[in-house]
Amino acid sequence: MILHITLLSYVIVLFNFSLCLCASCSCQRLNQSLHIECRQFDQQEIRHCLENNTDAIEVYIIKSGLTSIPPSISVLTSVQLLDLSYNYIQEIDKYTLSSIGGTLQVLIMSYNNVSVLRNGSLDKLVHLKEIVMDHNCLEEIELDAINSKSGSLCNMQFSYNQMKSIDLSLLFVPKLYEQARVTVNVSNNLISNGTNNKGFRISNISLNNRFFLDLKVNKIETVDVEYFLQITHIETLTDLYNLGSSGIDIRFNPLICDCRLFPFSFYVNFFRFMDKYNYLFEFTCNDPQSLRGRRVFDVPVNDFNCSVQNDCPPQCLCTRTVSLDLITVVCDKDVLVSIPYVIPKGRRIQMFLHSRNVRELSDRPYFKNVTDLDVSSCSIASINENFLHNFETMKTITITDNSLTTLPKSIQTVNLENLTSLYLHGNPYVCDCHSLWLKSWLKKNGNKIPDLEQVLCDTGPKGKPIVDASDADFVCDGINISLILAISFGGASALVLFVFAIYIFRESIQVFLIANYSCCQCLRRKVATNLPFDIFISYSSHDEIYVQEVLIPNLKKHEFRLFTQDNFIPGVPITENILRGIDSSFTTLIVLSNRFLESDWCKFEFQQAYDKALKERERHLIVLILEEKLDKTLIQGTLKSYLKTNNFIKTSENRYLSRLLLALPRMQVNIGPSETTPLLREIFFQ
């Protein structure tokens, strides 16, 4: 029995002991500070510990699994520092906190899960000096959460959170009117923008006061100077002095050094001038690539560029340089077939255009604002008369490496007083009796032509600078008398050879004659027609510029009646319009390009025209290849076999327009009863 009782009490003792061991929380008092740490959250144990230490001045409840501020802190009578780091607290409960508001000076809540600091949550902490909330998931500090009620607040640590924007009212704490340094640390957040809803001004700071706003390692890409000026709002020397002892740290942000940052960079340079060695000015550009790592104050003013999308032709890159009030347009893709009609507006424009498909230099309205024009490495063979007046207003013009054989003669009457440089080399200038004037013009204006000595003759005194060639070398080929003599006296064999040669090269000769003398139209086939149109042009809308500017004007010169997309009847299905075009034109002219090959409509047009040509032998199909390199994978089916077995014309060939003309018959319109095929095929109505 006794044994039994002893055993039982032993068990009870053991049980008690194990209860002690199982206590979740340790509660340690060291002088004035109380440390609580729970392996497992236990509301009751924390309360007991606090109740036994109500006079503690520093209370640490860390790594204790708290999900909210424990209500039992209300028993503390003189706590000045409360550290609740490394818990899972999501909300700052203002009612709980208010119970210690009479004494609390430092609130530390690092490594918790607070996502919003709410308006009013700190209002009762009238003696609060510091709030430390780094490593939470703060997305927002509500307006007024920090306000004038926090009478002594001067250190706010909110680094390593998720804030995207910051309001400067955070600086509006009463301390800013006393002799103190107010720190707001929002480094390592996601801040890209700032607001100033309470109208904070530097001038609100009293003399000898300072603030420090730590915005390091955020997502600031640009600084809106309006905003910056709003806060600095420097009116007096005192303001300036105040700013000098305050600081905003925006280092380690992905700043984009473009036109938006330019006004700010201007101020940066201005302030840095007064405080050269301040590390706060060491922020760098992250973009563009060419400026990455450059300190903003080191970036030359002319590098703050922005790309301009509005009105920028798709084949070009347009940039604005604010410091120079300059628009730069660079078009260096060969898809460009003419000088763009519209580019971004600007007071001063520079244009660089290089495309092997641009063949003429003609005027554009915006040229009046272009100071520098570079059209080198195009295929410009002629300068339109209407372009010439631009020589009077532009500063530099570069037409090197083109196909110019001469300049328009009327350039002699152009006043070049405003032109500083004209570059002309790399063109196949013809030096003959017709271009002697060019030599004297070049000589006269040599001071404007830096590459004068590289402007060479390509015929006559070939390879010589035009200005150095002797006048006597500028001759025109007369009729080759010796050839005539040879034919006259060389007998029949020579004549036969000659005729044979003409026969072999008849096409080239015809093309040459048509191209150069627009004579010998008689060589072309003549066809009587009673169709309403001569040519239906089938092309991709992407080649519109080429067709409208080059093809149509050239065909119209020869009085063809063209059916283009302009003749489409609005409201009628596009298939019907196409069929109507093909049916009512003698020839279908296909402008073949990769864009054409990619378009289902275009392929449809080709197929219809092909069928038509097969059915009606008299009908005509001509393929004009616009591009140097057609994408072979796109050429399929009928088109592939057509191109294999039929002739086509390439725009890259010499005198292709004449070649095309030769391929087109001369049309003689028959006036009489119409025998055209029905305009629309019935199948399409079924």
Residues that bind ligand NAG (CB under 6 A): 27, 30-31, 48-49, 52, 88, 113, 119-120, 134, 137, 143-144, 159, 183, 185, 187, 193, 195, 201, 203-204, 212, 214, 288, 290-291, 302-303, 305, 319, 321, 326, 328, 345-347, 366, 369, 392-393, 415, 417-418
- C-alpha 542/C-alpha 335 separation (Å) is 10
- C-alpha 205/C-alpha 236 separation (Å) is 13
| Closest to 306 measured CA to CA, from 293, 325, 292 | 325
Q: Measured in whole angstroms, how far is the alpha carbon of residue 22 from the centre of its chain?
A: 66
Nearer to ligand NAG, 305 or 400 (CB): 305
Nearer to ligand NAG, 394 or 597 (CB): 394
Beta carbon of residue 15, minimum distance to ligand NAG (angstroms, whole number): 17
| Closest to 560 measured CA to CA, from 539, 589, 538, 580 | 589
Nearer to ligand NAG, 340 or 346 (CB): 346
Beta carbon of residue 399, minimum distance to ligand NAG (angstroms, whole number): 19
Beta carbon of residue 18, minimum distance to ligand NAG (angstroms, whole number): 17
- C-alpha 364/C-alpha 358 separation (Å) is 14
Nearer to ligand NAG, 328 or 564 (CB): 328
H or E element, residue 257: none
- C-alpha 251/C-alpha 249 separation (Å) is 6
| Closest to 592 measured CA to CA, from 521, 525, 640, 549 | 640
Q: Could you say which DSSP state residue 676 is in?
A: P
CA distances 18 to 14, 54, 286, 324, 372, Å, are 6, 28, 61, 82, 91
User: For 189, what's the count of Cα atoms within 13 Å in the CB-facing half-sphere?
Assistant: 30
Amino acid at 464: K
- C-alpha 680/C-alpha 686 separation (Å) is 12
Beta carbon of residue 369, minimum distance to ligand NAG (angstroms, whole number): 4
Nearer to ligand NAG, 326 or 660 (CB): 326
Residues facing 106 on adjacent strands: 81, 130
Nearer to ligand NAG, 212 or 601 (CB): 212
Beta carbon of residue 194, minimum distance to ligand NAG (angstroms, whole number): 7
Beta carbon of residue 84, minimum distance to ligand NAG (angstroms, whole number): 14
**Residue tagged 């424990």 (tokens):** 70
Beta carbon of residue 200, minimum distance to ligand NAG (angstroms, whole number): 7
Nearer to ligand NAG, 417 or 471 (CB): 417
Beta carbon of residue 426, minimum distance to ligand NAG (angstroms, whole number): 24
- C-alpha 438/C-alpha 305 separation (Å) is 41
Beta carbon of residue 467, minimum distance to ligand NAG (angstroms, whole number): 24
Cite the DSSP H helix spans in 225-288: 225-232, 237-245, 262-272
What is the SS3 assignment for 82? strand
What is the SS3 assignment for 25? strand
Beta carbon of residue 95, minimum distance to ligand NAG (angstroms, whole number): 14
Nearer to ligand NAG, 43 or 195 (CB): 195
Nearer to ligand NAG, 262 or 536 (CB): 262
Nearer to ligand NAG, 127 or 294 (CB): 294
| Closest to 299 measured CA to CA, from 325, 328, 262, 271 | 262
Token pair listed for 2? 């006794």
